[in-house]
């Protein structure tokens, strides 16, 4: 009974992650289409990629959570832990790549605004 409930929870979290990605794609596309006249093509495309990238990033985080729940709660073996480590490593790399693509900088780099705020506070 508990195993069945955990499996339902994992599948629900996985579907939620997929839904986040799909909604991000739809929302990004809708925003792109609504801005056809307001911006130049390069800015529109950059904003479109950023919107889709954010949806994928959040969806990937939820999918990683589902994988962790599945591995820890359902099949806590060394083999499943090794598979989880591989999945998390791949998704972490994807998340990092998407973050660089969306923001144009590494996550640990400060924005120019943060640098200016730090210099002004001295």
Domain range annotation of the chain: 2-120
Please state the φ and ψ torsions of residue 121, each to the nearest 5 degrees: -80, -10
What was the pLDDT predicted at 113? 67
- Low-confidence residues of the chain, pLDDT below 50? none
What was the pLDDT predicted at 110? 66
Predicted TM-score (pTM) of this structure: 0.71
What was the pLDDT predicted at 56? 87
Q: What angle, rounded to 10 degrees, do the helices at 2-34 and 41-69 form?
A: 180
- With beta carbons less than 8 A apart as the criterion, state whether 53 and 104 touch: no
- With beta carbons less than 8 A apart as the criterion, state whether 20 and 55 touch: yes
The model's pLDDT over 67-100, given as tens digits with 9 standing for 90+, comes to 888 887 776 778 878 888 888 788 788 878 877 7
């Amino acid at each position: 009974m508990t195993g069945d409930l955990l499996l339902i929870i994992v599948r629900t979290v996985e579907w939620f992650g997929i839904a986040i990605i799909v909604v991000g794609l739809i929302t990004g596309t809708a925003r792109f289409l609504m801005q056809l006249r307001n911006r130049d093509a390069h800015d529109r495309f950059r904003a479109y990629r950023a919107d889709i990238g954010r949806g994928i990033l959040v969806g990937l985080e939820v999918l990683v959570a589902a994988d962790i729940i599945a591995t820890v709660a359902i099949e806590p073996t060394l083999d499943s832990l090794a598979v989880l480590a591989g999945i998390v490593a791949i998704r972490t790399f994807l998340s990092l790549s998407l973050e660089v693509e969306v923001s144009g900088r590494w996550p640990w780099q400060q924005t120019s605004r943060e640098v200016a705020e730090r210099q002004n506070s001295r």
